[in-house]
Every structure is written in C-alpha cells, then in structure tokens.
Amino acid sequence: MYLITVLGNLLIILAVSSDSHLHIPMYFFLSNLSLVDICFTSTTIPKMLVNIQTQSKAISYAGCITQMYFFLLFGVLDNFLLTVMAYDRFVAICHPLQYTVIMNPQLCGLLVLVSWVTIVSLFYCTVLSVYLSSASTHSSQSSAVTSVMYTVVTPMLNPFIYSLRNRDIKGALKRVGGMARTKGTIVLRLKM
C-alpha cells in the first residue's frame, strides 16, 4: 500500500509537471496535494514497516517528537490544500467567466504558500476516534487498524479519487508513457 501511495502520487506530479495543458490552478493544487501525501505517509510508514520486520515497538523520544511534528505538519497541510482545492472549484463553478482573473498565478502561489506556513470524513473520524477515545474502550488492534486507515489508505486513494478518474490526467500519463517508450526505441536503434 505504501508503494502504491508513493508511485500513484509521483505519477500525478510527473503528469502535471510534464504536460503544459495541465498547468492550470486545479492541477497545480493537485500536484501539491500529491507531494504532501507522499510526505505524510513517509513520516510514519517506514518506521512502522521496520517495527513489523524487527518485532520491536521501540522509538526514541527525539524520534517520536520528530515523527509527530512532521505527521501533524503534513496532516494539517493536507487539510489546507483540500480547502484551497474546494475554493478553486467554487470559483470555477460560480464565477466561470472571471475564473482566470480570480485564480491568477499569484493567488494560486499565495494559497499554496499559506497552506505550507502549518477534510475527508474518513480522515477526521478515524483520527478523532483514535486520539480522543479512552484506552479502555478500544483494543490496541482496533486502534492500529484505524490508524492505518488515515495514515495509509486515505493518501493511497487520493490519486484515484482526484485524478486517475480524470481524462486530462489519463491523457498526460499516456503521453508521458509514450515519450518514454519512444526514447527507449530511439536509444535501442542507435545501439544497433
């Protein structure tokens, strides 16, 4: 699941950055969300995988504080970016004729910047159930399953929910894949 999360989000970033048709606010925000999702899952999952492999649950105090800092930073940033994306869609739907004037490159950059300086119900419900419930009401197994839901499953599904169902992203990925195949064919012909 971790590899799917990282690869899916990297594909979105690659598609958006390589296709000039996708250099619009919606995809700019989407590529930033993909980057944040990679960072969000990378703060906890590698340590979790090591713990599973070594059968050890130990973490140093400094490691725990560092992990929690980045976990909260990227979690909050994820929420801000989702809010910015909702605003972008609001402007596109409610003010379509003024969209390019309102969502100019300066505002888009400012919105992402504001998101970087510190909304899915699955995310909020599972976070709240893990951290606000008492230890006596939940077993550690149910807490672990719930934690995996918001730290792994939600970021893994974001590429599918926000982009891979989108024709523009699919087209960009096909073009990127076609360019890679073409370059590989040219290199093979030169070697012969």
CB 171 within 8 A of CB 16: no
Alpha-carbon Rg of the chain, whole angstroms?
A: 20
Cα gap 87→92, rounded to integer Å? 9
CB atoms within 10 A of CB 22: 21
pLDDT value at residue 120: 45
Distances (CA, A) of 162 to 26, 54, 169, 187, 189: 10, 36, 10, 35, 39
Name 80's Cβ contacts closer than 8 Å, sequence gap at least 6. Answer: 114, 115, 118
Q: Is the pLDDT of residue 137 over 60?
A: no
d(Cα 89, Cα 96) in Å, to the nearest integer? 10
Q: Which domains does the chain have, with CATH numbers?
A: 2-191 (1.20.1070.10)
Which tens digit of pLDDT belongs to each residue from 157-167? Answer: 777 666 656 77
What's the pLDDT tens digit per position in 5-39?
A: 898 889 889 888 988 888 888 888 889 999 999 99
Residue 183 confidence class, pLDDT cut points 50, 70, 90: low
pLDDT digits (tens, 9 = 90+) for 53-97: 888 888 888 888 888 888 888 888 888 888 898 999 899 999 999
Instruction: Tell whether pTM > 0.75.
Output: no
Cα–Cα dist 159/144, whole Å: 24
